[in-house]
Structure 1
Amino acid sequence: MLPRLLLVPALLLLAACQNVRVERDYDANRDFAAYRSWSWQEPALQYRPDDPRVRSDLTEQRIRDAVGLQLDQRGLRQAAAAASADLRVQAWLIVDQRQDQVSTSYGGFWGGHWNGYWGGPAYTETRTLDYQVATLQIDLFDGKDGKLVWRGSAEQIMRQSPPSPAEREEAIRRTVAQILRQYPPH
């Protein structure tokens, strides 16, 4: 019975250690080698829900810095403020509330050594786990026609305790790097 009691904490631990799920999509008809410069499409970062507990100037600056660094490493340069850019960049930070139900069964009858059965009454306990999932989405739009040419997103279960500012910055840098890892598409 003790191993079954450890099931819920083990599931929570696995969820906390879960890798970031990254997805990408792009317009295969675009010549990504032609894109040399980028600028932010305002608002640079949008939030869903537009909640003051999620919205933060600090988070926005961290995302801006991380995206700028990754695009720079890929040979794209940020256009001057008044200049037109080949790509326009916009990011979304989306926080969803989700639930999972975990059922654990206790007791019941088990087969014995000589086909005898023993055990007690069986019962099942079902628990509902509430958690939040954060998605960071980065969209790249063509600077001339305004159409979406590339999109990448990363989804991750949020930790219950808020990390330190240094941990937040590192997590954002790492997540943006994972999203933009496949840009430009090959």
Structure 2
Amino acid sequence: MKILLSLPLLLLLVACQSPSPYIAEGKPLPPAPPAAADHFDRSAYPAAPRDYARYRDWAWRSQPAGSAWADGALLAETVAGGLDQRGLRPVRSGKRADLLASAELSVERRQYQVRDDYGGYYGNGPWGDHYGMYGSVPLVRTYELEVIVVRIDLFDGASDQPVWSGSAEARNTDSQSERAEALRRAVEDALSAYPPD
């Protein structure tokens, strides 16, 4: 019996003693082409991180359009206040802005699902004979909400390249004063990630 058990171990030991069939060899790299010394491939390196501290003022790229939910002036005023809280000031006349801003507002419908598990227990309690039965019935309810979605885009004033984008949503309300507060919250949430870390 011991011989049968030691036979696989002996075969394993013999296999470890045999020479490796793999040979470590390689061919030298070919020489670089002569034009490689004069050519710089920018795609081989990541882009330099953007310095958001150099952006100090802004202007509208295009005036925000109004909608049935809120007029463009309210959206423009709310976004301007949010940018002001982040240290961005409106550009003085006659100067090119560091940033160009655009904002849009839309009303969308969202579906949400809530799951509730309703169940029951039949049998003795925890100090009885410990028999019983438990059953659970999931109840899934779907409801729909109307939300406002605010999207803010910032572009470099010199190159017109996109610099940053953010969006957020808030629950739609019927009251005019609550709408202004919902819009302010949505703009604040959309701008909460500016400037990015």
> What residue number does 2:161 align with?
147
CA distance in 2, matches of 1:73, 1:58: 22
Matching of residue 115 in structure 1 with residue 135 in structure 2? no
* 1:19-65 deviation digits (Å, cap 9, x = unpaired): xxxxxxxx97222222232111225348xxxxxxxx23844222211
Question: Which amino acid is 1:69 matched to?
Answer: G
Matching of residue 169 in structure 1 with residue 180 in structure 2? yes
- CA separation of 1:174 and 1:101: change in aligned 2, threshold 3 A: closer
User: Which structure shows the bigger proportion of residues in strand conformation?
Assistant: 1
Gaps of 5+ in 1: 1-26, 47-54
**2:107 equivalent among 86, 95, 98:** 95
CA distance in 2, matches of 1:135, 1:148: 20
Partner SS state of residue 64, structure 2 = strand
RMSD of aligned C-alpha atoms? 3.3
Contact kept in structure 2, 1:44 and 1:89, CA below 8 Å: no
TM-score (norm 1): 0.60
> What residue number does 1:9 align with?
none
Partner SS state of residue 177, structure 1 = helix
Question: Which amino acid is 1:137 matched to?
Answer: R
Partner SS state of residue 44, structure 1 = coil
> What residue number does 1:132 align with?
146
* 1:153-180 deviation digits (Å, cap 9, x = unpaired): 2233x25x52x22222223223323433
CA distance in 1, matches of 2:180, 2:136: 49
Shift of residue 135, structure 1, vs aligned partner = 2.4
Shift of residue 131, structure 1, vs aligned partner = 2.1
Q: Which has the larger radius of gyration?
A: 2
CA distance in 2, matches of 1:178, 1:123: 38
Partner SS state of residue 61, structure 2 = strand
Alignment of 1:72-83 (within 5 A): 72-79=84-91
CA distance in 1, matches of 2:133, 2:88: 70
Aligned length in residues: 148
Partner SS state of residue 103, structure 2 = strand
CA distance in 1, matches of 2:107, 2:168: 12
Gaps of 5+ in 2: 1-46
Q: Percent identity between the aligned chains?
A: 39
- CA separation of 1:91 and 1:111: change in aligned 2, threshold 3 A: farther
Question: Which amino acid is 2:53 matched to?
Answer: A
Contact kept in structure 1, 2:64 and 2:73, CA below 8 Å: no
> What residue number does 2:57 align with?
37
Shift of residue 118, structure 1, vs aligned partner = 6.3
Shift of residue 69, structure 1, vs aligned partner = 2.0
* 1:60-116 deviation digits (Å, cap 9, x = unpaired): 222211121232344433235775322111113243323233344545543423234
Contact kept in structure 2, 1:45 and 1:90, CA below 8 Å: no
- CA separation of 1:106 and 1:35: change in aligned 2, threshold 3 A: closer
CA distance in 2, matches of 1:35, 1:118: 66
